[in-house]
């Protein structure tokens, strides 16, 4: 098979890496890719939001399968465009992708299907939203409904912050059209867990659970980021709770979408807030997570192409996912200053040495290859990933690799996985 991956982050490098290991795959292309995929696969300079160019290219090169990483092309209808040309694609249609691309749609869908989620209201009018804040004091969460590159949800600890968030989204239009509608919701407490699942339009099968670390600094302090590292499997839901998540969250989405005539095929990602044995949905994503994918795919023992094929062909119920009985940890190395302003173009040292380490792989995100050197080219630069039989050893291996990699102003969290160690200790 000849496969095209759409995207340019660590998630797409991990997808290209896993696809390359499939017994069914000969060639992997990535559009537009990064400095890491340039080595694993062939990069093609097409932007993820140029849907006509992606469709033309995929048809011209006769790809057997296209795997879409980010939400933007899915929301813009890349799956619909590829399918219209008879190309097999893994990723939901634009209509099904509304579960992520419109938080207003997603919340209304959850309410209609009895999926546990925070109390909320949707507004298109600034003054009405402001009035709602008067009767709903902080802590409260103000969200731009549309896609905002992960920055559109603002958790407000004071009433003043909540008014400022509303002003930012609706009056300053900081996220453009994404702020045409605003969701204001109750602030939930607890620990977050990412539940990713494969879906074929009817059947839904969860992957290993992942805990991401969204705050920029150690101890969950500092601004929210796309994710500074994660580990799997996360001991946040026991088997009984996982069955409840399937019955009350994942299956109702897939069944509800099918009933609406917009079958859900692809990855369904539920971000949950867990408190004791209670859980609520914070958000849905219509795609693989980043960095979650970097710890999921190294643990997947089933051939990835066989799973994706089964989803596309509506026979996921015939596939049994096999997972390594191990832990995997990914530490994101970022440019100093991320998620705010940062410098790019520094040469990354130590990658050859780390490439020799066992059970370790460095997934690239914001990197670029130039004259045989690898340069930093984004906020999140690398996802340094390692696996082992237990979590302490996986953490140790990941950080042993991190310590060998250098560039000026590098920044990373030193406590990725620590929450997992604490949970495992508490559970004995």
Q: Quick one: which of 12, 80, 192, 292 contacts ligand AMP (CB under 6 A)?
A: 192
Q: Is residue 185 part of the contact set for ligand AMP (CB under 6 A)?
A: yes
Q: Quick one: which of 187, 418, 421, 424 contacts ligand AMP (CB under 6 A)?
A: 187
Distance (Å, whole) CA 69 – CA 14: 10
The total of other beta-carbon atoms located within 10 Å of residue 54's CB is 25
Q: Is residue 292 part of the contact set for ligand GLY (CB under 6 A)?
A: yes
Distance (Å, whole) CA 97 – CA 410: 35
Q: Is residue 12 part of the contact set for ligand GLY (CB under 6 A)?
A: no
Q: Report what 289 binds from ligand AMP, ligand GLY, none; CB cut-off 5-8 Å by kind.
A: ligand GLY
Distance (Å, whole) CA 60 – CA 71: 24
- Identify whether the C-beta of residue 36 lies closer than 8 Å to the C-beta of residue 385: no
Binders of ligand GLY among residues 261 to 280 (CB under 6 A) are none
Q: Is residue 8 part of the contact set for ligand GLY (CB under 6 A)?
A: no
Q: Quick one: which of 185, 192, 212, 303 contacts ligand GLY (CB under 6 A)?
A: 212
| Cβ closest to ligand GLY, residue 185 vs residue 292 | 292
- To the nearest whole angstrom, how small is the minimum distance from the Cβ of residue 107 to ligand AMP? 10
Q: DSSP 3-state assignment of 332?
A: strand
- For residue 341, how far is the Cα from the chain centroid? 22
Give the binding-site size for ligand GLY (rule: CB under 6 A).
Answer: 8
List, edge to edge, every strand of the sheet that includes 2-7: 42-43, 27-32, 2-7, 65-68, 89-90
Q: Is 405 exposed, middle or buried (0-12, 13-18, 19+ CB in 10 A)?
A: buried
- To the nearest whole angstrom, how small is the minimum distance from the Cβ of residue 292 to ligand GLY? 6
- To the nearest whole angstrom, how small is the minimum distance from the Cβ of residue 162 to ligand AMP? 13
Q: Report what 282 binds from ligand AMP, ligand GLY, none; CB cut-off 5-8 Å by kind.
A: ligand AMP
Distance (Å, whole) CA 122 – CA 144: 10
What phi, psi does 347 have (nearest 5°)? -75, 135
Residue 104: closest CA among 171, 196, 175, 183: 183
Q: Is residue 335 part of the contact set for ligand GLY (CB under 6 A)?
A: no
- To the nearest whole angstrom, how small is the minimum distance from the Cβ of residue 275 to ligand AMP? 11
Q: Is the dihedral of CA 321, 326, 327, 329 positive or negative?
A: negative
| Cβ closest to ligand GLY, residue 102 vs residue 310 | 102
Q: Could you tell me which stretch among 182-190, 259-267, 301-309, 395-403 binds ligand AMP (CB under 6 A)? A: 182-190
- Identify whether the C-beta of residue 56 lies closer than 8 Å to the C-beta of residue 35: no
- Identify whether the C-beta of residue 266 lies closer than 8 Å to the C-beta of residue 286: yes
Q: Is residue 282 part of the contact set for ligand AMP (CB under 6 A)?
A: yes
Q: What kind and span of H or E run contains 254? A: helix 251-259
Q: Could you tell me which stretch among 81-89, 156-164, 179-187, 254-262 binds ligand AMP (CB under 6 A)? A: 179-187
| Cβ closest to ligand GLY, residue 292 vs residue 309 | 292
The total of other beta-carbon atoms located within 10 Å of residue 157's CB is 11
Instruction: Spell out, one character per residue from 104 to 143, where the chain touches ligand AMP: x when CB under 6 A holds, - when not.
Output: --------------x----------------------x-x
Q: Is residue 100 part of the contact set for ligand GLY (CB under 6 A)?
A: no
| Cβ closest to ligand AMP, residue 45 vs residue 276 | 276
Q: What number of residues does the chain have?
A: 428
- Identify whether the C-beta of residue 399 lies closer than 8 Å to the C-beta of residue 345: no
Distance (Å, whole) CA 159 – CA 136: 9
Q: Report what 118 binds from ligand AMP, ligand GLY, none; CB cut-off 5-8 Å by kind.
A: ligand AMP
Site of interaction with ligand AMP (CB under 6 A): 118, 141, 143, 153, 155, 185-188, 192, 214, 271, 282-283
Site of interaction with ligand GLY (CB under 6 A): 150, 212, 226-227, 285, 289-290, 292
């Amino acid at each position: 098979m000849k496969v095209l991956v759409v995207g340019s982050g660590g998630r797409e490098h991990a997808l290209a890496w896993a696809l390359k290991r499939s017994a069914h795959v000969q060639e992997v292309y990535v559009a537009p890719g990064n400095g890491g995929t340039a080595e694993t696969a062939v990069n093609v300079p097409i932007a993820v939001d140029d849907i006509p160019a992606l469709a033309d290219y995929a048809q011209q090169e006769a790809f057997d399968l296209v795997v879409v990483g980010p939400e933007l092309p899915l929301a813009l209808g890349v799956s619909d465009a590829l399918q219209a040309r008879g190309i097999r694609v893994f990723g939901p249609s634009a209509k099904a992708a509304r579960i992520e691309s419109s938080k207003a749609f997603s919340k209304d869908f959850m309410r209609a299907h009895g999926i546990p989620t925070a109390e909320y209201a949707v507004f298109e009018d600034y003054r009405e939203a402001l009035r709602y804040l008067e009767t709903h004091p902080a802590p409260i969460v103000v969200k731009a409904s549309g896609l905002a590159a992960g920055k559109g949800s603002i958790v407000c600890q004071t009433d003043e912050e909540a008014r400022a968030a509303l002003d930012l989204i609706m009056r300053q239009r900081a996220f453009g059209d994404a702020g045409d509608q605003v969701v204001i919701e109750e602030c939930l407490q607890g620990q977050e867990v990412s539940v990713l699942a494969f879906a074929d339009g009817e059947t839904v099968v969860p992957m290993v659970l992942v805990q991401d670390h969204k705050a920029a600094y150690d101890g969950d302090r500092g601004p929210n980021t796309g994710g500074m590292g994660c580990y799997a499997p996360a001991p946040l839901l026991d088997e009984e709770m996982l069955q409840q998540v399937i019955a009350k969250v994942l299956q109702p989405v897939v069944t509800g979408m099918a009933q609406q005539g917009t079958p859900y095929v692809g990855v369904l990602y539920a971000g949950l807030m867990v408190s004791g044995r209670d859980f609520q949905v914070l958000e849905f994503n219509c795609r693989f997570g980043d960095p979650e994918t970097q710890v999921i795919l190294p643990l997947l023992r089933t051939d990835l192409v066989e799973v994706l094929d089964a989803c596309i062909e509506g026979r996921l119920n015939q596939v049994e996912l096999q997972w390594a009985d191990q832990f995997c940890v990914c530490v994101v190395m970022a440019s100093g200053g991320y998620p705010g302003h940062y410098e790019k173009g520094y040469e990354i040292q130590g990658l050859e040495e780390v490439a020799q380490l066992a059970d370790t792989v460095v997934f690239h995100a914001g990197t670029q290859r130039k004259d045989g050197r690898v340069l930093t080219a984004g906020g999140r630069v690398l996802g340094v990933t390692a696996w082992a039989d237990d979590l302490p050893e996986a953490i140790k291996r990941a950080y042993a690799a991190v310590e060998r990699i250098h560039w000026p102003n590098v920044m990373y969290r030193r406590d990725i996985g620590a929450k997992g160690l604490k949970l495992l200790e508490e559970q004995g």
